[in-house]
Amino acid sequence: MNIKLVVVGKLKEKYFKQGIAEYAKRLSRFCKFEIVEVPDEKAPESLSDAQMAQVMAKEGERILSKIKDREYVYALAILGKERTSEAFAAEIKQLTTYGHSDITFVIGGSLGLDSAVLKRADTQISFGKFTLPHQLMRLVLTEQIYRAFMINEGSPYHK
């Protein structure tokens, strides 16, 4: 099984890198785990709607270039469907049971995801209505993927 995160921008803080590295190491017994970073589009602080759309489109093209046809794609979106950890684990288990061995999660840039990426996604997932820094979201997502595998294994980790 392959789990890939396609993310916009680089991780800067050492503590996020360390946390993600720890969960990536733990995930290695369940799957091949990979993070693919695409560059964020440089933009001034205040953008017009047209400029925002242009930035999101460029980031979207970079994201889509890293996704293969066979991959099942989760787009992280504030308007996506919220799930419990148990429901998420069941979904991952069901996907793998029915032949989806390549699962990709997409975290967009600071402006969000382009509509082309949302259209390509098989599903949208939300971690609530809070706005979280993208670097923190990477850590939270990685931990939740690990938690899903632990739930599916029947491990006490989840409790």
CA nearest to 157, candidates 11, 30, 12: 30
The C-alpha atoms of residue 12 and residue 22 are separated, in whole angstroms, by 16
CA nearest to 108, candidates 71, 73, 134: 134
Q: Which two tokens stand for residue 155?
A: 């491990």
What is the distance between the terminal CA atoms of the chain, rounded to a whole angstrom? 25
Q: Is 76 annotated as a binding residue?
A: yes
The C-alpha atoms of residue 112 and residue 109 are separated, in whole angstroms, by 5
Binding residues: 76, 108
Binding residues for S-adenosyl-L-methionine: 76, 108
